[in-house]
Structure 1
Amino acid sequence: MPPTLTPKQILVHHSADEWEEFIYEWVSALKEADYVDVVRMGGSNDRGADIAAFLTLSKTDGPWHCFQCKHYDKAISGTVAYPEILKIHSAVAERQYKVLPERYVFVAPKVGGSFTQLLAKPSTLQTAFFEWADKNATKLAQEYGEAPLKRALHLAGQSDFSRFEAGNLDRILEQHSTTPHHVRRFGTRLPDRPAVPAAPADHAPEETRYVQQLLDVYHEKWGCSPNAPDEARAHHKAGPNLQRQREAFYCAEQLRMFARDSVPEGTFESLQSDVYSGVSEVEEDDFPTGYARMKAVLAAARDMQLGSNVLIHYVKPEDRKGICHQLANEDRLTWVQEEL
């Protein structure tokens, strides 16, 4: 087997667009920042901001953070950063943004040591920026225009350069690993699935439809009242069956929550669709009772192949049954069917 690439090594081979997408995933998951929204603003006219994170509904009219994505073979240095620093000051000086971002974060696979040292000394960074601007004054005046350049540099002279920083890739990867995107992007193992809790004694509102379908089954099979769950629970056959089906439902619900926190959106729903595809034709067959139909569908779900979903290795037999009850909860599966 070839050696497995680490996430850092994989990121080196990302394109600029893939890198920006990775950073967007990371920023969107920064729970401690409490952003109200995160948007990608990159492009040829990004005005100094690839990704903007808003702390209030005022967006860039209020406090916000800017993330500038750079993906080069070499480590980024001051000569890469200075044009971006000028660009963001120009955008505010020309009223394209109302205020400067409170934080401006350069994010790159590699950050040069000298640039890291500059960022640690905001006043020295500001001095180095103006030295670069003076050295390139003629070229910058042609690019921005003399008056706009003067306004941008005036604002930069009043600016607090401590807003500029560089993202730490180790910390970024650590935080990204807590998101559902990490497994898809890097092919790493999912975290261990938590223990499945027992079904609560009382039926929850979100169980209403599939439990009613079970009560209809027990009414047809054993004569239990379809409107009295307590009667079914007390029945010597219906009661244990109801408990087993509820345990399976809650097992599948726990898998749903595990998937929500561990894999990309839609992964669990894709698994549900695979199960439905495998059992729907069984459900359509003729059966003497709804009980027989339900048993046949649950057996088909237990025995079917589930393709290549990333959750496959975490699916328990009870999950397969529980997914059928989730589908019954949405009326995608029906146990007791009226004859036409």
Structure 2
Amino acid sequence: MSTSERFSAFHAEPLFSELPKPSQTPVTVVAPMMAMPPTLTPKQILVHHSADQWEEFIYEWVSALKEAEYVDVVRMGGANDRGADIAAFLTKGKTDGPWHCFQCKHYGKAIGAATAYPEILKIHSAVTEQKYKVLPERYLFVAPKIGGSFVQLLTKPSALRAGFFEWVAKNAEKLGEEYGEDPLRRALDLASRSDFSRFEAGNLDKILEVHSRTPQHVRRFGTRLPDRPAIPAAPPEHAPKETRYIQQLLNVYHEKWGCSPSSPDEAHAHHRAGPNLRRQREAFYCAEQLRMFARDSVPEGTFESLQSDMYSGVSEVEEDDFPTGYARMKAVLAAARDMQLGSNVLIHYVKPEDRKGICHQLANEDRLTWVQEEL
């Protein structure tokens, strides 16, 4: 067979004839769903805090310890804190009277006795050197991680004292140079007479449980706010805090329907003004309840920021020309209902009535005026 015949014979057979014909239906390749990164728990977030952030967190927790009834809580941390990062006072005498001390430690590893002993010496020295008049009644070591053996040691005050003096003996020369012989002797004399049951370790689970009820918790950990309580009905009697916005409404009803501007009873009895007044009061109290919810659930200023956003959105409408104060009020309330509220943490809890009520809160402060005199 010639070369040309062999070439023709080779091409007479279909190439890859043993393979099945591809399906005519197009194949769609679907990428696996991208997994969301796992949400860090508060404990995991705290591990990544800086030392200063950790101290701030502990300050928030101590300030929320209602059962202790502290007169004041003060951050005393710094290079010369003398063994007290945070002090909580039980009387106006502060550290001259009964007080509690919180020593904040934020290390990559769990703290143990080796970390505690220098602080125990430091607080006794501070008292003998009259930095503080008396030792704190309670002294808590607070850290993201506390070694189990140290926790057990703290349950045995006599063993804690013995371990402390063993540590002093091993480091006597160094401590003498650091404190001076006489100051060290005075501090150790006080320690020998001190009740070591005052030294404790903070329980992080219990700390977080208390902190979860503070307004700072959602900001620090990005957790959900608690459920908003049921909204109470407006009380039948007008309260003193309603005086100004009610007067603004009475001015509206006087201009619109001739009701007396000085008689809420007359407005309530009017067939048009009465239902409107009741609705506006319900909205006002709805916003007041949101204010109280914010006070207890989010950092200070969050609700005021929401009010400012609302004012910024409706003030341009309020400044427009309207034939009556009633028309101005209706236009502002409609604008409040429809406006975007930005990224305030409260926006998921704001109800339509809150928006109207915030307008009446602003009217209560004369930041909004319904019946405007012509200049």
Per the alignment, in what secondary structure is the counterpart of residue 105 of structure 1?
strand
Tell me the distance in 2 between the aligned counterparts of 1:264 and 1:228: 40
1:101-129 per-residue CA deviation (whole Å, 9 max, x = no partner) reads 00000000011011111100001000000
Tell me the distance in 2 between the aligned counterparts of 1:21 and 1:214: 46
Tell me the distance in 2 between the aligned counterparts of 1:223 and 1:3: 63
Tell me the distance in 1 between the aligned counterparts of 2:148 and 2:226: 34
Tell me the distance in 2 between the aligned counterparts of 1:303 and 1:40: 45
Per the alignment, in what secondary structure is the counterpart of residue 4 of structure 1?
coil
The alpha carbon displacement at 1:59 in A equals: 0.3
The alpha carbon displacement at 1:294 in A equals: 0.4
Tell me the distance in 1 between the aligned counterparts of 2:152 and 2:189: 25
Q: Paired residue for 1:106, among 141, 146, 157? A: 141
The alpha carbon displacement at 1:312 in A equals: 0.4
Tell me the distance in 2 between the aligned counterparts of 1:296 and 1:82: 68
Per the alignment, in what secondary structure is the counterpart of residue 42 of structure 1?
coil
Q: Paired residue for 2:173, among 110, 121, 138? A: 138
Residue equivalent to 1:322: 357
- So what's the TM-score if we normalise by structure 2? 0.90
Amino acid at match of 2:92: L
Amino acid at match of 1:83: P
Tell me the distance in 2 between the aligned counterparts of 1:141 and 1:240: 82
Residue equivalent to 2:329: 294
1:273-302 per-residue CA deviation (whole Å, 9 max, x = no partner) reads 000000011111111100000001000100
Tell me the distance in 2 between the aligned counterparts of 1:100 and 1:273: 47
The alpha carbon displacement at 1:173 in A equals: 0.2
Tell me the distance in 1 between the aligned counterparts of 2:132 and 2:285: 49
Tell me the distance in 2 between the aligned counterparts of 1:37 and 1:277: 37
Q: Paired residue for 1:32, among 57, 67, 91? A: 67
Unaligned runs of 5+ in 2: 1-35
1:222-259 per-residue CA deviation (whole Å, 9 max, x = no partner) reads 00000000000000000000000000000000000000
Give the aligned length: 340
Residue equivalent to 2:118: 83
The alpha carbon displacement at 1:305 in A equals: 0.3
Amino acid at match of 1:22: F
Give 4+ residue runs of structure 1 displaced > 6 Å after superposition: none
1:1-340 equivalence runs, <5 A:
1-340=36-375
Amino acid at match of 2:296: D
- Structure showing greater Rg: 2
Per the alignment, in what secondary structure is the counterpart of residue 213 of structure 2?
coil
RMSD of aligned alpha carbons: 0.4
The alpha carbon displacement at 1:163 in A equals: 0.2
The alpha carbon displacement at 1:261 in A equals: 0.4
Residue equivalent to 2:31: none
Per the alignment, in what secondary structure is the counterpart of residue 236 of structure 1?
coil
Amino acid at match of 1:142: E
1:278-337 per-residue CA deviation (whole Å, 9 max, x = no partner) reads 001111111110000000100010000000000000000000000000000000100000
Per the alignment, in what secondary structure is the counterpart of residue 49 of structure 1?
coil
Amino acid at match of 1:125: L
Unaligned runs of 5+ in 1: none
